[in-house]
Amino acid sequence: MSTDLHATLLQQVKQGDNNAFNQLYKAYKLDAFKFAMHMLRDTEEAENMVHDLFTKIWHNKNRIKPEQNFRSFLFTCLRNLVLDHIKREKRNRIAFQSYINESCQKEDPIGVRERRYRMIQTAMNALSDKRREIIYMCFVDGKSYQEIADSYSISKNTVKNQLVKAKQLLRDQLKPKMLIA
């Protein structure tokens, strides 16, 4: 494309001429794509960068200087867009990697379960023998209140009261350790 034709097309684009813009787009889109592809090595991202480039040129058409070398201007803008994209992607990867590293540094679920189990065992051991046995019979063995009452020769209401008190004592012991809310 000749320099005079460039200057004419650029002047027309600056004035909002869609046809002139389409001619510039058709003249440079393939070279711009190849350039972006060389830097990004990703077809979809290269296409997006070329699209963004021409969109920015259209939105900033009033800044176009018809006397300047448009090709040089175009590829400088494209290089800057691609470099900004690469920086953004790098920041995102670093942020993601930091998140992964933090997650890996935290205790693994097995370690957490083991620690919680030990804390619960310690809290259970702080209960009286009778309350601890009632808790086990109810929640581990799955016995009904009546079955527990019969085995201790106490009323069903006493079993309920002992469970309420035992659970409250467990909550009081475990809540500071943030095991339960």
Count Cβ neighbours within 10 Å for each residue of 118-152 and write b for 16 or more, e otherwise. Answer: eebeebbeebeeebebbbebbeeeebebeebbeee
The answer as to CATH 1.10.1740.10 being correct for domain 1-106 is yes
Which one is the CATH code of 110-180: 1.10.10.10, 3.30.479.10, 1.10.10.60, 3.30.420.40?
Answer: 1.10.10.10
Q: Along the 181 residues of the chain, how does pLDDT read in single tens digits? A: 667 777 888 999 999 999 999 999 999 999 999 999 999 998 989 999 999 999 999 999 998 888 888 899 999 999 999 999 888 888 767 765 675 566 555 555 666 777 777 888 888 888 888 888 888 888 878 888 888 899 888 998 898 888 889 888 888 887 776 544 4
Check residue 118 and give its pLDDT.
81
Q: Where are the domains of the chain?
A: 1-106, 110-180
CB 145 within 8 A of CB 156: yes
